[in-house]
Amino acid sequence: MTSVPLHYLTLHEAAGLLARREVSSVDLTRAAFDRIRALDDSVHAFLTLTEDEALAQAREADGRIARGEAGPLTGVPAAVKDVISTRGVRTTCGSRILESFVPLYDAFVIERLKEAGFVMLGKTNMDEFAMGSSGENSAFGPTHNPWALDRVPGGSSSGSAAAVAAGMALYALGSDTGGSIRQPASLTGVVGFKPTYGRVSRFGLVAFGSSLDQIGPITRSVRDAALVFQAIAGHDRRDSTSAPLDVPAVTDALTTDLSGLRVGVPREYFVEGMDDDVRQAVRAAIDRMEDLGASVDWDVSLPSTGHAVAVYYIIAPSEASANLARYDGVKYGYSYREGAGMWDNMEKTREFGFGEEVKRRIMLGTYALSSGYYDAYYLKAQKVRTLIRREFDAAFEEHDVLVMPVSPTPAFKLGEKVDDPLQMYLSDVMTIPVNIAGLPGISVPCGFSQPARPGAADGSRLPIGLQILAKPFDEPALFRAAYAYEQATDWHKQHPEL
C-alpha cells in the first residue's frame, strides 16, 4: 500500500492499486462517500449524491477488474459538473429553472466514461448555467474553497474543483467557456484541462456559449488529466462542431525532459495590478522549464489580448440569449402556471426561474443581437475574435507552447466581488482569450501565496496555477510541457488541511 490516504490518491495510483487488487472499487467509493459526509457540509461541492448507483457501478467495476477487463479509469470514483446530462440523475445547471429536471439521455462524455467503467459519486455545484467565476451564482448556495473556507473556489466549475482538491472525488469533469475549468483548478491547487474546441463532443453538455464551450477533466495530476482526456475525446456525429480527427496518445508525450521545446511568454499577460505572488510563482515556474531544457522567449506579444474580455462579453451572452430561450416553462424544468395566460406564465417562469447574472447575460446578448446593434456589437466582436486567433497562430509559428498565469490573483473572499460584475469579469482576462481562439489550455499548480508577505490577505496560504497553451489539436505539446514541469515540483502533492 502507499502512504497516501485513499482519498488523496491520484487516479493513476488508484488504478494501480485496483489492478493489483490491493483495494476494490467499492472500498474507494465508500471512502469517497465517508469523506463527502465528513466535509461537504462546510465545502458544499455537491448538489446531488448518487450513492446507491455508485456502489452498484463499483461492484460492476470490481467484476471487470477480476475478469482482467479493466481500463485505466475502471472503478475510480469521480464527480460530474451539473451542466452535463446524466440519464436518470437530476441535472440542474445550478439553476432553479432546472431544479427538478431529470435528463432522458447521457452526454457523450458520460457514455464514454460508462464504457470505461465509470463510478459516478454525484453532480457538482456550479455557477448558474456556468456563468460566473466564483461559484457564488449557484441558485443552491456557494461552494467554499477547501484551502480557506471563507474564500471562493473559483468558477464556474466550483464544485468539481473543490471536490477534487478536498479529496471527495478522485477526478471530476468540468466545462470551460471562458476559464471555468482552469480558473477554479488554479484557485484550488489542482490540475484543470480545457481541450481544443471540437476535440470533445458537446452532445449532452447544456449549452451556454456554443462556439466556446468545451468539457474537460479536473484532476490531481497531469497524467490523470491525460488519461481522462483520452477517454472522453474523439469524433461524435451528434455534435456538428466535433472534429473528425484521431485523438493522439497524449500519455506517450509524458516525458520529463523539455529539450528542444520552444516556450513563449506573452508580455500582455503580466499586467499591472496582478498579484505579486502570482507574478513571482509563474516567473519561477518558467525558469524551471528552462532548467528542464526548454528555450524561453520572454518577448512574445499578443497585442489584442486587452480586447478579449470585451469580445467575450458580446459573443458569450449573444449565444447564451439564443441557447437559454428554450427555458420557457413548457418543455422542461420549472413552470409558472398561475399567470394571466401563456405569455405571462412564460415571463414569470423566466423571471422566477433565472438568477440575476443569467438575466443580465440574456439582456446583454439580446441587445447585442438586436437589429441596428448587431453590426456595431456582434459583428465587430466576431472580427476582433479573428484578430485574436491570428495573433495566436503567428505566435505558434515560433513557439510550441505559451505560458502565463491562469488568474491575476489567488482565491478572493466570498462576497468580495458579487456586487461588482465588471471586477468579476476581469478575473478571467487570462483564460478568456484561449476560448476565443479555441486553443487547448491547462492549469498546473505552481506555488502558493506567501502569507507572511506584508499586505498579503489575512495570512491564508492559497494555491497559484500556471497556464500552458498549445496550438489547436496539439495537446501532446501541452501535456509534455505540463508533465515535465509538474514532475520537477511537488506543488501538486500538497493538500489543504481540512
| Binding interface with ligand GLN (CB under 6 A) | 130-133, 156, 176-180, 208, 316, 428
154 dihedral zone (left: phi>0; alpha: psi -120 to 50; beta):
left
Minimum distance of ligand GLN from residue 355's CB (angstroms): 13
Please pick, among 25, 81, 95, 194, the residue that the annotation labels catalytic. Answer: 81
What is d(CA 168, CA 184) in angstroms, rounded to the nearest whole number? 16
Whole-number minimum distance, CB 484 to ligand GLN, in Å?
Answer: 27
d(CA 498, CA 39): 8
- State the nearest-atom distance from the C-beta of 34 to ligand GLN, in Å: 31
Told to judge if 380 belongs to the known catalytic residues of this protein, a careful annotator would answer: no
Set 95, 180, 201, 221: catalytic member: 180
Q: Which of 485, 14, 90 is nearest to 254 (CA)?
A: 485
Which string of DSSP letters, residue by residue, matches 73-136? Answer: TTT-EEEEETTB-BTTB---TT-GGGTT---SS--HHHHHHHHTT-EEEEEE--SGGG--SSST
Active site residue 180: yes
Cell of 261: 521545446
CA dist., res. 80 & res. 72, Å (int): 18
Of 286 and 442, nearer to ligand GLN (C-beta) is 442
Q: Cβ closer to ligand GLN: 264 or 317?
A: 317
Residues in Cβ contact with 428 at an 8 Å cutoff, skipping those fewer than 6 apart: 133, 178, 179, 183, 309, 312
- Complex with ligand GLN: residue 127 or 475, whichever CB lies closer: 127
For the bound state, the minimum distance from the C-beta of residue 308 to ligand GLN, rounded and expressed in Å, comes to 12
221 is catalytic: no
What is the smallest separation between the CB atom of 11 and ligand GLN, expressed in angstroms? 23
Calpha distance 202→233 (Å, rounded): 10
DSSP letter assigned to residue 379: I
Could you say which of 133, 134, 156, 157 is catalytic?
A: 156
Residue closer to ligand GLN, measured from CB, 119 or 161:
161
- For ligand GLN, give the closer residue by CB, 288 or 413: 413
* Active site residue ranges: 81, 156, 180
